[in-house]
Chain A
Amino acid sequence: MTRAGWIRIAIVLGAIAALEVVTQAGLVSRHTIIPPTAMAAALWGLIGSGEIMPDITKTLSNVAAAFVLSAGGGFVLGLLIHAAPRLRRALDPLLATYYAVPFFVFYPLLIVIFGMSDLPIIVIGFLFGVVAMIIATLNGLDRVPRVALKVARLSRMDPVSIALLIKFPAATPYLFTGVKLAVAYSFIGVIASEFILSGAGLGFAISYAYNNFDTPRMYALMLFILVSVTAVNMVLHTIEQRMLRRRGLAR
């Protein structure tokens, strides 16, 4: 590992150790924050008992669904918008200001339309991630070398093959930016929606524990979310670095 990597680990471990010391010493009330070791122990207990498994399954499958829809849908929409330059010029300001809209105001509306199910949650996650993916796709497609498209034409490829075998791999470094954002936004959209209006899922479980003053359980669940988001991002980062190294673009 690089020196910067070691420093990074030292900072994270240092922060955890500081929190441990502060909480153990009683400088902060245990009703506010519990020591990290207690969080880990509580999480271990929760997982061991299996009682939060349904919530974990529900949240992670909703996140997965929102991610697949926003990444896949964003790529396809990006391809279509890129193929129609006039439409793109019309949409550009809308795409640029999209994230100024707080989608959660539509959540009640989505519940009216789809009912109290997983669907409005997945739709919120999708709405969050899809535009980031569209923007990344447009960005990547702008940078597909013209000469690669000429080679494709010389091979007499049809538009679908060109999209999948030339444009998609050529734009991959840029698409990855969109994929990482789509993952993050799917997590945010799904878990935040569960907080507001839901009868299950990790977001709901955290808010339930909070309302019942069950501090260890609340922190255990928060820790679980942090660990899973970090794990997913590490996997994505590793894949991305391997791809960039192969292309001589690694930082």
Chain B
Amino acid sequence: MAGPGTRAGAAHAVLRGVTRIFPPADRGQAPVHALGPVDLDLARGEFFGVVGPSGCGKSTLLEILAGLSAPTEGSVTFEDTEVRGSPPDGVGVVFQEDASFPWLSVWDNVAFGLRRAGIDSAETARRVDHALGFMGLTGFARAYPAQLSGGMRQRVCIARTLVLQPRLILLDEPFGALDQQTRLLMGDELLRLWRDTGATVLLITHALDEAAMLSDRIGVMSARPGRFIDMVATGWPRDRDSTIVSDAAFGEITARLWSSLRAESLKALGAVP
């Protein structure tokens, strides 16, 4: 079976017929069909972007893939093991909201997952210091999140995910709350992280240019219930950065994303296309 989201090769994570229907909040209301059915094969080491109109079930897709919620129908497989409503080992998630813990210093925030996993203190220190260095936070190890800017706090959250050495990194609009310049720079850091770790990345974003600049492949989702209506391969070299925004192909990719999305975005707004 090869739907629009599947692709040959060594699949790292596989979604088949994934559907999510939320039960009605009140009696008398209809259940909400939020997602699917969705088929998707993520190749090992791929950078996959997801764009779609707001409310199309992008975050639901991420939560199902992360094992934070179970699909109503269909299956999710990560590294040949089925994921069903419980987070598998080797998956890291960065959320849009600030998920740093305000009661812990930056260092302790980043060390949190390692301590929970029972990693010994010498190894924890080594990995935390490395992640802080990688994210440019070394000078802020003893600071508390409240003393940092929004962009810095999001770096703390990325570092916290990074130290666990995830093989699949899921990002849910991680730069949504940041200004445009910071987002471009964070995009560069994300690319560097992806290259250095060799991890598979799934990035949800509402910014078409961000998806076009960062991804190997972009899935365009329909209005609710979200399904993939287009798959765009960017063909960027692995060694790329934000300067590709001046490449002619960048404009073509962004234009194609928008032409696929325009009607769906209007639907999501409740307008007639």
Contacts and interface: CB of A to CB of B under 8 A. Distances in A.
Interface of A: 145, 147-148, 150-151, 153-157, 161, 166, 169-170, 172, 243, 246-249
A51 B112 CA distance: 52
Enumerate the 4 nearest inter-chain pairs by beta-carbon distance, A residue then B residue, closest first. A248-B146, A169-B103, A155-B116, A247-B102
B99 A145 contact: yes
A151 B99 contact: yes
B97 interface: yes
Question: Which of B92, B101, B104, B147 neighbours the largest number of chain A CB atoms within 10 Å of its CB?
Answer: B101
B117 interface: yes
A157 B117 CA distance: 9
Interface string B53-67: 000000000000010
B97 A156 contact: no
Interface in B97-130: 97-99, 101-104, 112-113, 116-117
A150 B95 contact: yes
B87 interface: yes
B68 interface: yes
B261 interface: no
A247 B147 CA distance: 8
A170 B103 contact: yes
A155 B113 contact: yes
Contact of A246 (B97, B112, B146): B146
Contacts of B132: none
B116 A170 contact: no
A246 B116 CA distance: 24
B140 interface: no
B99 A150 contact: yes
Contacts of B92: 154
B146 A247 contact: yes
B102 A153 contact: no
A170 B99 CA distance: 11
Question: Which of B86, B91, B112 neighbours the largest number of chain A CB atoms within 10 Å of its CB?
Answer: B112
B144 interface: yes
A157 to B, nearest CB: 6
Given A154-B68, A155-B112, A247 B103 contact: yes
B93 interface: yes
Contact of A148 (B101, B113, B117, B144): B101
Nearest to B116: A155
B97 A155 contact: no
A89 B98 CA distance: 30
10 contacts: A145-B97, A147-B99, A151-B99, A169-B101, A169-B103, A170-B103, A172-B103, A246-B102, A247-B102, A248-B102
Given A147-B95, A169-B101, A248-B102, A154 B66 contact: yes
Contacts of B104: 169
B93 to A, nearest CB: 6
A85 to B, nearest CB: 14
A166 B99 CA distance: 12
Interface in B72-107: 86-87, 91-93, 95, 97-99, 101-104
A154 B144 contact: no
A153 B116 CA distance: 11
A229 B117 CA distance: 44
Contacts of A153: 68, 87
Contacts of B66: 154
